[in-house]
Chain A
Amino acid sequence: MSKKHVAKPLTGKSVLTLIRDNSVPIMFILICAVCIPLSGFSPAYLINELVTRLGRNAFLILSLLIPIMAGMGLNFGMTLGAMAGELALIFVTDWQIWGIPGIILAMIISIPISIVLGLFCGKMMNMARGREMITSYIISFFMNGVYQLIVLFMMGSIIPIKHSSVKLPRGYGIRNTTSLLNMRQSLDNALAINIGGVKIPVLTLIVIALLCLFIVWFRKTKLGQDMRAVGQDMDVARDAGIKVDRTRMIAIVMSTVFAGFGMIIYLQNMGNMATYSAHTQIGMFSIAALLVGGASVEKASIGNVFLGVLLFHTMFIVAPTAGTIITGDSMIGEYFRVFISYGVITVALVMYETKKRKAKSRIGQELARAQKEADAQ
């Protein structure tokens, strides 16, 4: 009897917590539920688009998981990896190596660049402990300047670029769009299966699955455990003999390298590359997608990534058309999806910080209570 009495409010509470903890995905499901019928897209078209976008974006978003594990928050510095991937692609395009060999070569070239950038980013973030996110955010802006300096002024003049089709007419610097036409979807089309008009890029999905497996495996290794320890409490981890700074650096370097791979997969799907702007938004959209999937600043799983890609990109596909139908203005939908992306990140950040503060004040109260009890004794 009494057991039942206890259990009942508990289930009610757990449903409520379930809703509260997953408020962002639920909100997105509602938005999608309203917008999909309004947009009037056929299910086949929608699924096709979604599968394409899943293959395009999942790898990039997965690269965010490791820094979250290490307690470094959302890695806005993943843009650095994206830049490394783009630099590698520029070289590969210049050397005229196409298809899958080109993609693999680009990935190999991107690794050292990513490592250097990741080390820089990790070093900065260790110096700015407690403000990792804003620092990584500014780093991405700073590096964007350096990237422009290299690509716009040094390539062709200092760094040898042979092919004139890649270069600007003035003889140095890279054109605004780098065509990856000969590489376009070569990863996606290899082993692709067509099921009822839906093209499934099997090889890309296998690559993504491999990364997922790697992350699952990595969590169980010594280094992965260290990272989680650092993420939970840096001081305790240090006392336990974990090299905190080094562990954090490794987390960022890994994230940057994966982001570089992810960008190469992303761009081979697109088939051309906006040389100077492809990376600027990628961090924001990846982070927003991850958060939409129900992740928070301190906790994210592989499931969040896939749910996030599906929900976020459904919204992305249907919002412009639905917006046009509702308001009669095509721009509204465009702005709406940008607003949602930023809004989701804002809400996630606010929730994270309030939670952190609450936990802090609770620890403080407990300490005070313990002290009081000790005094009483």
Chain B
Amino acid sequence: MGKTENIRLGEKTKFRELVDNFGIPRLIITCFLLLLFIMAPMVGADLPTQLTNTINRFSWNAVLVLAMVPMVHSGCGLNFGLPLGIISGLLGGTIAIELGFTGGMSFVMAILIATPFAILFGAGYGWLLNRIKGGEMMIATYVGFSSVSFMCMMWLLLPYHKEDMVWGLSGKGLRTTISLEGYYSNVLSKIMQIKIGNLVIPTGSLLFFGVLAFLMWAFLHTKTGTAMTAVGSNPTFARASGINIDRTRTLSVIMSTWLAAVGILVYQQGFGFIQLYMAPFNMALPAVSAILIGGASVNKASITNVILGTFLFQGIVTMTPTVMNAVIHTDMSEVIRIVVSNGMILYALTRKTEGSK
């Protein structure tokens, strides 16, 4: 009798442990998404279409979320400076189009052109972050903001001439949104696209993300990758074992910036438009909260967190409008998105157990 009670108690604590590990906010969000999926057919929404939307949005955003991983690993915290990487991507995309590349080639060239910018910006940004260890997140936010507002001026002043991109009237200054029709719109998602009824799977985009995620996973298991994790989890130990902390951190920042650059290009190819000016402004927060929803914390993140988090976050973003509209006839999705995503970041920041003080 006592034994069974013990076992039951054991199970109970195990369950508790599982809940604790998973985190209550995460559990609520998962249940909420499940509820949305169950309710979708009941309110008359087509489940395969909804799933397609979710998967599509997953494929757009996953690389941007993946960009969080290296900096979290090296102890730089959540990369609120994502807009800096996004700007490298925007430069790559616009310059590739300006140079006259079209179709799939423009996507490849966009990545290639974005790379030197990402390395340059990332190195500068990494250098800055090394000087202000401990206060990375706040400064990252403002580095992102200043660079976005600086580029707002640059988009107007840089000598772009391609008539698809500049304002029609004055012939100079880039437009706020640039259509990618004829350029790299859907170049990835069209590859090996699978169609089953209403369910469409953008295999190419998913594969592209898969390759990057695998490379990231493999990198984290190389010597440099392990060193990076060591720097993040215990800098004193890392220094004692002869790791150059500043260099490792800079490397992680460059990787993060480059992934953000590629991420925005992948996002654009799915979305079909380049968005300039103030658009990159608020792109960091969704990515940050996505990886946190996936189970990452300020100093711990894995590829699983990325995949799970992006799926949950994008699932909620796509499902709430349809389901909520049908149930209460008002669009509360925007409010829910703001509360959920920022609430998640707040939760991660205020947890006592993690992060150095």
Task: Return the contact of B285 from the options A141, A327, A332 (Cβ within 8 A).
Answer: A141
Whether B149 and A335, one on each chain, are in contact in the complex, defined by CB atoms closer than 8 angstroms, is yes
Closest Cβ–Cβ distance, residue B159 to chain A (whole Å): 13
Closest Cβ–Cβ distance, residue B16 to chain A (whole Å): 22
Whether B142 and A345, one on each chain, are in contact in the complex, defined by CB atoms closer than 8 angstroms, is yes
Residues of B within 8 A of A213 (CB): none
Whether A129 and B346, one on each chain, are in contact in the complex, defined by CB atoms closer than 8 angstroms, is no
Whether A342 and B149, one on each chain, are in contact in the complex, defined by CB atoms closer than 8 angstroms, is yes
A317-359 interface with B by 8 A CB criterion = 327, 329, 331-332, 335-336, 338-339, 341-343, 345-346, 349-350, 352-354, 356-357
Task: Return the contact of A338 from the options B149, B330, B350, B352 (Cβ within 8 A).
Answer: B149
- Which of B6-14, B29-37, B150-158, B211-219 makes up part of the contact surface? B150-158
Residues of A within 8 A of B349 (CB): 128, 131, 134-135, 138
Task: Return the contact of B133 from the options A149, A339, A357 (Cβ within 8 A).
Answer: A357
The interface bits of chain A over 150-163 (1 if a CB of B lies within 8 angstroms of the residue's CB, else 0) are 00110000000000
Q: Which chain B residue lies CB-closest to A140?
A: B342
Whether B357 and A129, one on each chain, are in contact in the complex, defined by CB atoms closer than 8 angstroms, is yes
A127-B352, A349-B138 given; A145·B338 CB < 8 A: yes
Cα separation A327 to B153 with both chains bound (whole Å)? 11
Whether A349 and B135, one on each chain, are in contact in the complex, defined by CB atoms closer than 8 angstroms, is yes
A145-B338, A327-B157 given; A339·B150 CB < 8 A: yes
Whether A346 and B149, one on each chain, are in contact in the complex, defined by CB atoms closer than 8 angstroms, is no
Check A189 for interface membership: any CB of B closer than 8 A: no
Q: Which chain B residue lies CB-closest to A127?
A: B350
B128-163 interface with A by 8 A CB criterion = 128, 131-135, 137-139, 141-143, 145-146, 149-150, 152-153, 156-157
Whether B346 and A335, one on each chain, are in contact in the complex, defined by CB atoms closer than 8 angstroms, is no
Check B343 for interface membership: any CB of A closer than 8 A: yes
Question: B-side binding surface: helix, strand, loop or mixed?
Answer: helix
Whether B149 and A350, one on each chain, are in contact in the complex, defined by CB atoms closer than 8 angstroms, is no
Whether B346 and A353, one on each chain, are in contact in the complex, defined by CB atoms closer than 8 angstroms, is no
Closest Cβ–Cβ distance, residue A132 to chain B (whole Å): 9
- The interface size of chain B toward A, counting residues with CB under 8 Å, comes to 42
Residues of B within 8 A of A141 (CB): 285, 338, 342
Check B1 for interface membership: any CB of A closer than 8 A: no
Whether A137 and B138, one on each chain, are in contact in the complex, defined by CB atoms closer than 8 angstroms, is yes
Whether B132 and A332, one on each chain, are in contact in the complex, defined by CB atoms closer than 8 angstroms, is no
Closest Cβ–Cβ distance, residue B331 to chain A (whole Å): 10
Check B339 for interface membership: any CB of A closer than 8 A: yes
Check B332 for interface membership: any CB of A closer than 8 A: yes
Whether A353 and B342, one on each chain, are in contact in the complex, defined by CB atoms closer than 8 angstroms, is no
Whether B142 and A139, one on each chain, are in contact in the complex, defined by CB atoms closer than 8 angstroms, is no
Residues of A within 8 A of B343 (CB): 142, 145
Check B28 for interface membership: any CB of A closer than 8 A: no
Whether B132 and A138, one on each chain, are in contact in the complex, defined by CB atoms closer than 8 angstroms, is no
Cα separation A342 to B146 with both chains bound (whole Å)? 5
B299-357 interface with A by 8 A CB criterion = 330, 332, 334-339, 342-343, 345-346, 349-352, 355-357
Whether B339 and A138, one on each chain, are in contact in the complex, defined by CB atoms closer than 8 angstroms, is no
Residues of A within 8 A of B355 (CB): 131
Whether B146 and A343, one on each chain, are in contact in the complex, defined by CB atoms closer than 8 angstroms, is yes
Check B173 for interface membership: any CB of A closer than 8 A: yes
Cα separation A148 to B152 with both chains bound (whole Å)? 28
Whether A135 and B146, one on each chain, are in contact in the complex, defined by CB atoms closer than 8 angstroms, is no
Whether A353 and B156, one on each chain, are in contact in the complex, defined by CB atoms closer than 8 angstroms, is no
A129-B357, A138-B349, A342-B146 given; A149·B339 CB < 8 A: yes
Whether A332 and B156, one on each chain, are in contact in the complex, defined by CB atoms closer than 8 angstroms, is yes
Residues of A within 8 A of B336 (CB): 145
Task: Return the contact of B153 from the options A137, A146, A335, A345 (Cβ within 8 A).
Answer: A335
Closest Cβ–Cβ distance, residue B135 to chain A (whole Å): 4
Whether B143 and A346, one on each chain, are in contact in the complex, defined by CB atoms closer than 8 angstroms, is yes
Cα separation A81 to B351 with both chains bound (whole Å)? 25
Whether A145 and B357, one on each chain, are in contact in the complex, defined by CB atoms closer than 8 angstroms, is no
Residues of A within 8 A of B332 (CB): 149, 153
Which one of A137, A144, A346 has the greatest number of beta carbons of chain B within 10 Å?
Answer: A346
Closest Cβ–Cβ distance, residue B66 to chain A (whole Å): 22
Q: Could you show 26 A-B contacts with beta carbons less than 8 Å apart? A: A127-B352, A129-B357, A134-B141, A134-B349, A135-B350, A138-B345, A142-B339, A142-B342, A145-B337, A145-B338, A153-B335, A327-B157, A331-B152, A339-B153, A342-B149, A346-B142, A346-B143, A349-B139, A349-B142, A350-B139, A353-B132, A353-B134, A353-B139, A354-B131, A356-B134, A357-B131
The 10 closest A-B pairs by CB, nearest first: A145-B338, A353-B132, A142-B342, A145-B339, A339-B149, A353-B135, A127-B350, A335-B152, A346-B142, A342-B146
Since A130-B356, A345-B142, A357-B131 are in contact, a sample of 9 more A-B pairs with Cβ atoms closer than 8 Å, ordered by chain A residue number, is A134-B80, A135-B346, A329-B173, A339-B146, A346-B139, A350-B139, A353-B135, A353-B139, A357-B132
